[in-house]
Chain A
Amino acid sequence: MNTLETINAGIEKRYKREKRFRLYGQISIATGILFLFFLLGTTVLNGISAFQQTYIALEIVLDTDQFDTDEDGDIRPESLATANYNGIIRESLKARFPDVKKRKDKKALYSILSSGAVYDFRDTVVKNPQMIGTTQTIWLLADDEVDMYVKGKISADIPEKNRRIKDNTIAWVEQLRADKDVEKRFNSIFFSAGDSREPEQSGIRGAIMGSFYTIVVAMLLSFPIGVAAAIYLEEFAPRNRLTGLIEVNINNLAAVPSIIFGLLGLAIFINYFGLPRSIPLVGGMVLALMTLPTIIISSRAALAAVPPSIREAALGVGASQIQTVLHHTMPLALPGMLTGTIIGLARALGETAPLLVIGMVAFIVDIPGSPLEPSTALPVQVYLWADSPERAFVERTSAAIMVLLMFLVAINGLIVILRNKLERRW
């Protein structure tokens, strides 16, 4: 058998092996895509309805009697805020459903509206005092159980004792529906409110701001420190046992579980330095600690990737070492450094465990205005809501996840744009 025959004999086998290997690859990719679709699909299906909220229209008679008037018959401005709006709404509801007589039923009737609806109503009247003395049709926020029923998340077929919304409430809602007095509107509360015990009144704005401050603090701390450390280690530090040890430790730190950093932050920043709990400043510092190894490693890799010929060129015309780094090496490594930083921060953005440890898991209704005010963060908010028993929080959890993913996609898009813009060929 000559050489050619030997080759020919084996060639079919080789092709087969190649085809098989390609198939394995395709199967793995397909599996990955399937999982991703499953994850995204369930999240979107669960969460998409949270961007809408049910409102109920009520005809409300705004009698002037309800407000204090002065000698001229004008309404006193201070009484605008203190009037019994709750009573007004209840009267309107009673007028809408005159059949409801029993005290227990009345109470159920009142609760088809959200407990926050009265405040919205008050604000509307305060803003538009000319409405007083007229009869207005006003859309009011429905209760979360009603909302769930309207969105079809709760079926009327389930035995009454197994659901929180009762038959008579369903009957009222159906009646309202028949009169076209029930409507689903865009859920602006979700984006403008802080956390709340009532699902229909809760939003992610507080969490977004908390995350924003945390990440800004983390970035301001970790980027300069990480880059400076990387430059020193890569360009200046002598190669000896000490720097070798430091390098190994940095690599190990990148793999340390994030909760350890949280405990470290708790021990140092809160217990030792006495900084307040639950504030984004501390959260940012902890996340900065966690991100640092990633930034240092990626920045060093970016620096090492700059061709030595550029350094030689700069040194050759008489640039000092620091000038070489600042004028040439660092600008060329910057896209890589930024990529590493943003990847690190994106990971930090989705980080929950260390924030739990330093107390950013607290229930905080107010929207933080600075990194020094207690707040929570997006992933923590997801965690909190996922833990809540109300049916309406389920869709909000998914919606919050969607918002978080959107931010991550935006950040990754930013990386691509930055890299394309800053990257220079040499």
Chain B
Amino acid sequence: MNTATSYDKQIIENDDPMENPDFKTVGTTTVSDPAMTCRGVNVFYADKQAIFDVSIDVGKNEVLSMIGPSGCGKSTLLRCLNRMNDTIDICKVEGEIKLEGENIYEQNLDVVLLRARVGMVFQKPNPFPKSVYDNVAYGVNLHGLATDKAHLDELVEKSLTNAGLWNEVKDRLHQPGTGLSGGQQQRLCIARAIAISPEIILMDEPCSALDPIATAKIEELIDELSKQYSICIVTHSMQQAARVSQRTAYFHLGKLIEVGPTDDIFTNPVHKLTEGYITGRFG
């Protein structure tokens, strides 16, 4: 109730005709070939609502970027997609999130299996304090994906190659992963995620701790990965969203304001709030 009132107040303050309580998302939220679908998702932290009735699809082999000011709920929504929010006791998710037609918030759904299918890359590069090899092999061993040592070696090499890291680390596979540079660490984390062949990779501001060159490498990698995986990326850099994604969703105060092809969003957004955000006219 508390939030509802503060929200009403917000509208009055804004005095914006586009932002009324029965506000509808601008643009096409659905795609013809979705890997994941969200319908009417509401997320609460205790009694504070963080996400309001969001419906959006993540298409197969597409990069969907989610942008918006801090606290707009984009990271929260991303974390709902592989139930990382489960670790927060007070977090409650309503609505329907389906992976290949299966509701991931079903009681009997196995979270471990879900996270094997929906991988995640985090804001800060977070390799395990183990060797490069063990970092990649960890998930593989966890899910018993390798039949023997040779197969494991092969999977590790393939993942590191696909993450564009193999040539840089092949001579120091057994040195600690934490000894790599920031960009290499983040690519190691991506290698770790793709080693278990997920269907979707979620990325939560993957370049925010990296320098521009490392960022460019990651972006190139995202482009490369989108041939095989569906990728959902949260980013604070609008240029990054513009560069890597095919579709862009703009969030504001927990609501999905506008979603559409990236080309349109960045040249000719429909909603005033979207326009204000991406052109830098935001109070």
On A, residues with C-beta under 8 Å from B are 238-239, 307, 309-320, 323, 327-328, 332, 424-426
User: A312-B122, A313-B189 are contacts. A318–B84 as well, Cβ < 8 Å?
Assistant: no
A239 is contacted by which of B87, B89, B142 (Cβ under 8 Å)? B89
In the complex, chain B residues whose CB is within 8 Å of the CB of A319:
112, 138, 142
B129 is contacted by which of A238, A239, A317, A426 (Cβ under 8 Å)? A426
How far apart are B144's CB and chain A's nearest CB, in angstroms? 11
Pick the most buried of B84, B122, B128: most chain A CB atoms within 10 A of its CB.
B128
Whether A316 pairs with B142 at a CB distance below 8 angstroms is no
With A and B bound together, what is the CA distance between A317 and B189 in angstroms?
A: 10
User: A239-B89, A425-B178 are contacts. A317–B126 as well, Cβ < 8 Å?
Assistant: no
Q: Please tell me if B82 contacts chain A, counting CB pairs below 8 Å.
A: yes
With A and B bound together, what is the CA distance between A121 and B159 in angstroms?
A: 79
User: A238-B89, A425-B178 are contacts. A312–B129 as well, Cβ < 8 Å?
Assistant: no
User: A238-B89, A312-B126, A317-B119 are contacts. A426–B112 as well, Cβ < 8 Å?
Assistant: no
Which residue of B is nearest A328, CB measured? B128
With A and B bound together, what is the CA distance between A301 and B189 in angstroms?
A: 27
B127 is contacted by which of A238, A239, A313, A323 (Cβ under 8 Å)? A313
9 smallest CB-CB distances across A and B, nearest first, come from: A317-B139, A309-B126, A316-B120, A318-B115, A318-B116, A313-B126, A424-B129, A426-B129, A318-B112
In the complex, chain A residues whose CB is within 8 Å of the CB of B139:
317-318
With A and B bound together, what is the CA distance between A49 and B142 in angstroms?
A: 62
Whether B115 pairs with A425 at a CB distance below 8 angstroms is no
A316 is contacted by which of B122, B129, B143, B178 (Cβ under 8 Å)? B122
Whether B119 pairs with A313 at a CB distance below 8 angstroms is no
Q: Please tell me if B193 contacts chain A, counting CB pairs below 8 Å.
A: yes
In the complex, chain A residues whose CB is within 8 Å of the CB of B142:
317-319, 323
In the complex, chain A residues whose CB is within 8 Å of the CB of B126:
307, 309-310, 312-313
Whether A309 pairs with B122 at a CB distance below 8 angstroms is yes
What are 9 A-B contacts defined by CB distance under 8 Å?
A: A309-B126, A312-B84, A312-B126, A314-B138, A316-B84, A318-B113, A319-B112, A319-B138, A323-B142
Whether A316 pairs with B82 at a CB distance below 8 angstroms is yes
With A and B bound together, what is the CA distance between A199 and B143 in angstroms?
A: 67
Complex interface residues of chain B between 99 and 149 (CB less than 8 A to chain A)? 111-116, 119-122, 124, 126-129, 138-139, 142-143
In the complex, chain B residues whose CB is within 8 Å of the CB of A310:
126, 128-129
User: A239-B89, A320-B112, A425-B178 are contacts. A315–B84 as well, Cβ < 8 Å?
Assistant: yes
In the complex, chain B residues whose CB is within 8 Å of the CB of A314:
128, 138
Q: Please tell me if B192 contacts chain A, counting CB pairs below 8 Å.
A: yes
In the complex, chain A residues whose CB is within 8 Å of the CB of B38:
none
In the complex, chain A residues whose CB is within 8 Å of the CB of B129:
310, 332, 424-426
- 16 new A-B contacts, CB < 8 A, other than A313-B127, A315-B87, are A239-B89, A309-B126, A311-B87, A312-B122, A313-B122, A316-B82, A316-B122, A317-B119, A317-B139, A317-B192, A317-B196, A318-B114, A318-B143, A320-B112, A332-B129, A425-B178
In the complex, chain B residues whose CB is within 8 Å of the CB of A332:
129
In the complex, chain B residues whose CB is within 8 Å of the CB of A307:
126
In the complex, chain B residues whose CB is within 8 Å of the CB of A424:
129
With A and B bound together, what is the CA distance between A280 and B114 in angstroms?
A: 52
In the complex, chain B residues whose CB is within 8 Å of the CB of A309:
122, 124, 126
In the complex, chain A residues whose CB is within 8 Å of the CB of B116:
317-318
With A and B bound together, what is the CA distance between A425 and B116 in angstroms?
A: 27
In the complex, chain B residues whose CB is within 8 Å of the CB of A317:
115-116, 119, 138-139, 142, 192-193, 196
| Interface size bracket, B side | 20 to 34
Whether B115 pairs with A316 at a CB distance below 8 angstroms is yes
In the complex, chain B residues whose CB is within 8 Å of the CB of A238:
89
In the complex, chain A residues whose CB is within 8 Å of the CB of B127:
313
With A and B bound together, what is the CA distance between A320 and B114 in angstroms?
A: 11
With A and B bound together, what is the CA distance between A21 and B189 in angstroms?
A: 49
In the complex, chain B residues whose CB is within 8 Å of the CB of A316:
82, 84, 115, 119-122, 193
How far apart are A281's CB and chain B's nearest CB, in angstroms? 39
In the complex, chain A residues whose CB is within 8 Å of the CB of B121:
316
How far apart are B137's CB and chain A's nearest CB, in angstroms? 11
How far apart are A425's CB and chain B's nearest CB, in angstroms? 6
How far apart are A157's CB and chain B's nearest CB, in angstroms? 70
How far apart are A232's CB and chain B's nearest CB, in angstroms? 15
B169-212 interface code vs A (CB 8 A; 1 in, 0 out):
00000000010000000000100110010000000000000000
With A and B bound together, what is the CA distance between A139 and B139 in angstroms?
A: 73
With A and B bound together, what is the CA distance between A238 and B91 in angstroms?
A: 13
With A and B bound together, what is the CA distance between A309 and B138 in angstroms?
A: 16
How far apart are A133's CB and chain B's nearest CB, in angstroms? 74
Which residue of B is nearest A312, CB measured? B122
With A and B bound together, what is the CA distance between A388 and B97 in angstroms?
A: 79
In the complex, chain B residues whose CB is within 8 Å of the CB of A425:
129, 178
With A and B bound together, what is the CA distance between A323 and B111 in angstroms?
A: 13
Which residue of B is nearest A332, CB measured? B129
With A and B bound together, what is the CA distance between A195 and B193 in angstroms?
A: 65
Whether B112 pairs with A313 at a CB distance below 8 angstroms is no
Which residue of B is nearest A316, CB measured? B120
Whether A318 pairs with B196 at a CB distance below 8 angstroms is yes
In the complex, chain A residues whose CB is within 8 Å of the CB of B115:
315-318
With A and B bound together, what is the CA distance between A26 and B27 in angstroms?
A: 70
How far apart are A17's CB and chain B's nearest CB, in angstroms? 41
Pick the most buried of A311, A316, A328: most chain B CB atoms within 10 A of its CB.
A316
Which residue of B is nearest A311, CB measured? B87
In the complex, chain A residues whose CB is within 8 Å of the CB of B138:
314, 317, 319, 327
In the complex, chain A residues whose CB is within 8 Å of the CB of B122:
309, 312-313, 316
In the complex, chain A residues whose CB is within 8 Å of the CB of B196:
317-318
Whether B119 pairs with A426 at a CB distance below 8 angstroms is no
With A and B bound together, what is the CA distance between A313 and B114 in angstroms?
A: 15
With A and B bound together, what is the CA distance between A315 and B139 in angstroms?
A: 10
With A and B bound together, what is the CA distance between A319 and B135 in angstroms?
A: 13
How far apart are A16's CB and chain B's nearest CB, in angstroms? 44
Which residue of A is nearest B90, CB measured? A239
Which residue of A is nearest B136, CB measured? A317
With A and B bound together, what is the CA distance between A307 and B123 in angstroms?
A: 13
In the complex, chain A residues whose CB is within 8 Å of the CB of B111:
320
